[in-house]
Every structure is written in C-alpha cells, then in structure tokens.
Chain A
C-alpha cells in the first residue's frame, strides 16, 4: 500500500510566479491536510479537505493561497505570485476517517524555494 505521495519534491520559483503542489492520499483515505514548515520550526496546519469540500481553512493565508481536492485526481495546493517568505516545506497528510482522533499519515513533503 503506497504511502502519501507528494510532487514535486523540490520546486524553485522566481518571485511573482505560481507554485502548484500535488498530493495523492493513501489508498482508501478521503481526508487530506496541508501543513507548512518554515526552516527550524514545527509544522503549522493550513487546510483540511475532503473530496470536493474544504472543511477547515483556518490556517491558510487569506491571499494568494488556495487548495482543492477534486472528485478525481490529487489534492492541489496553489500559491499565486510567490514571495520569498513562501519558501518552506509543504507537507500533505491523509487520514481514512472523520472519527475524532484519527491517525494522520504524512508524505515526504515538497520543498519550495523562491528566488
């Protein structure tokens, strides 16, 4: 059973460009979470999605960031007009159920560098 798959593993963008990060959850998992890790810090929650629905986006910056999890295909985290402060590792996690306390499984992360 493959784990959570994220791509690209590394992405370099110039200021003002767009970054798209993809996440395929583990087989059988219908809940996806995105986290951001700045250098030398812990992970910070960004957004929680189920298929075709955003459940909780309380950690998402109000501008330039968006996320989706379509009926078919991977979840996408999109960052428009990137700035140097967006440089970070972005981790995706998936979970199989909505029950309180379900275990989350993380991908290997996508590392965004903004020049």
Chain B
C-alpha cells in the first residue's frame, strides 16, 4: 500500500508560535485529508485537500500533488491546538491510509 510519512513526530511550541507540519506520500493520490485528534481522542476534520491551498482561521494547508507532499501551517498556536495531527491519503478506492501523526504540545 501507499506509504505516508509525517514529520516531525513530536513538536513542542510556546503559545503564540507558528509551526509547519509535513506529510510525504509515496504515490499519486486523489484524496488527502488532515485531521486533529484532540486529547480526548476525538478525530476532527481539518482539511480535505487533494491539491491546492486552503485556509481556515489560523490553519492553512497546501498540497503539491505532483511532488507528493502536503503541509499544514498553524499560526499563533494556542493550548487547545495540542493533540496529534494526522495526514491521510486515498488512492483509487475510498479508504484512507494514515500517517503515524505529529504530536503537538503547546505550552502556555
């Protein structure tokens, strides 16, 4: 199956700092989604972004499908941003392949 690699695996930020999370994938995809899993385990859709750039408040994402990577930008981080960020990609069929995630901790 397709390989999905996320970096960095762990990230600690001071509140207010900015960060960039990266997702590399090994094959052409027709689906790419970013999720935030909060400390209570809930999985929250952030972006559906198989290509292009999207923004939602302090978050934005860019996928360069031809170069097989996606970036998630978090600006002015808040403690509520803590959790694990997953990138997931789909090829052909509808199921998604998840990366191992980036664990973000934002400290006050």
Beta-carbon contact of A56 and B93 below 8 Å: yes
Beta-carbon contact of B95 and A109 below 8 Å: no
B interface residues, tally (CB under 8 Å): 24
B88 contact from A43, A59, A95, Cβ within 8 A: A43
Beta-carbon contact of A109 and B43 below 8 Å: yes
A interface residues, tally (CB under 8 Å): 27
Contact code string A78-115 (vs B, CB < 8 Å = 1, else 0):
00000000000101010100101111111011010000
New contact pairs (18) apart from A104-B33, A108-B41, A108-B43, CB-CB < 8 Å: A31-B94, A33-B95, A35-B98, A42-B101, A43-B86, A45-B96, A56-B93, A59-B95, A95-B94, A100-B94, A101-B29, A101-B30, A102-B31, A103-B33, A104-B31, A104-B96, A106-B45, A109-B41
